[in-house]
Amino acid sequence: TQLLEQSPQFLSIQEGENLTVYCNSSSVFSSLQWYRQEPGEGPVLLVTVVTGGEVKKLKRLTFQFGDARKDSSLHITAAQPGDTGLYLCAGARGTYKYIFGTGTRLKVLA
Amino acid sequence: GAVVSQHPSWVICKSGTSVKIECRSLDFQATTMFWYRQFPKQSLMLMATSNEGSKATYEQGVEKDKFLINHASLTLSTLTVTSAHPEDSSFYICSASIAGAKYEQYFGPGTRLTVT
């Protein structure tokens, strides 16, 4: 059972466009992480959010944790081809155990 | 810092044989390691949680007798796929948590298993 649903599943955009990826659940999480994964490699952590309503920025990436800690969003401003990859959210139901979302595959065209 | 390695990076084996995959934390002690499986174009599915010195906790639907996990030290966990079948072909990824670091987990580069 996949507890975390991401949308959209696939996204192909032109360089310079903005985009938002959503991560939704009916469950409450103690923390939520976002990762980016390249083909044939392990995921790389982008951010961890732990407080409801928390907003974190990482250069052109803005992450928000929902007030009820059930959902999160990732917004990318002025996307670049280097942003291409599989974006995964992961929610923790305990201190360490994370369950991954369904994934969003992003392709940014030059 | 916080580097996790996996060995081998890829392996091809014949149906019915067993394969062992190693996950090592190179520069930190990992009290907890996780094993994930990822099918092509899909997300990561947690298979089991491995704590040093104790039995692994398996997720629902994962056969513990087929996927043997040993976490013998604070820097090494192994996953053995026993009597492998073609449907076990997948990308296996481990991650490790640093003792005392509440939310951090660091991922290995993954092992591509192909069973022929």
Q: What is the pLDDT of residue A67?
A: 96
Q: Enumerate the residues of chain B whose CB falls inside 8 A of the CB of residue A94.
A: none
Query: pLDDT tens for residues B75-102?
Result: 999 999 999 999 999 999 999 987 666 6
Q: What is the pLDDT of residue A95?
A: 63
The whole-number average pLDDT for the span B60-83 is: 94
Residue of B nearest to A88 (CA): B43
Residue of B nearest to A4 (CA): B43
Mean of per-residue pLDDT scores for chain B: 92
Q: Enumerate the residues of chain B whose CB falls inside 8 A of the CB of residue A33.
A: 103
Contact B107 A42 (CB under 8 A): yes
Cβ-Cβ pairs closer than 8 A, A with B, add up to 57
Pair of tokens at residue A11: 């996204």
Comparing CA positions, the residue from B95, B103, B82 lying closest to residue B48 is B95
Contact A103 B42 (CB under 8 A): yes
In DSSP terms, A42 is beta-bridged to none
Contact B105 A98 (CB under 8 A): yes
Q: What is the pLDDT of residue A60?
A: 97
pLDDT score of A2 more than 60: no
| Sign of the dihedral defined by the CA atoms of residues B38, B42, B47, B52, in that order | positive
Q: What is the pLDDT of residue A97?
A: 79
Contact B46 A45 (CB under 8 A): no
Contact B112 A40 (CB under 8 A): yes
**Burial code of B65-97, b = ≥16 C-beta within 10 A, e = fewer?**
eebbbebeebbbbbbebeebeeebbbbbbbbbb
Q: What is the pLDDT of residue B51?
A: 86
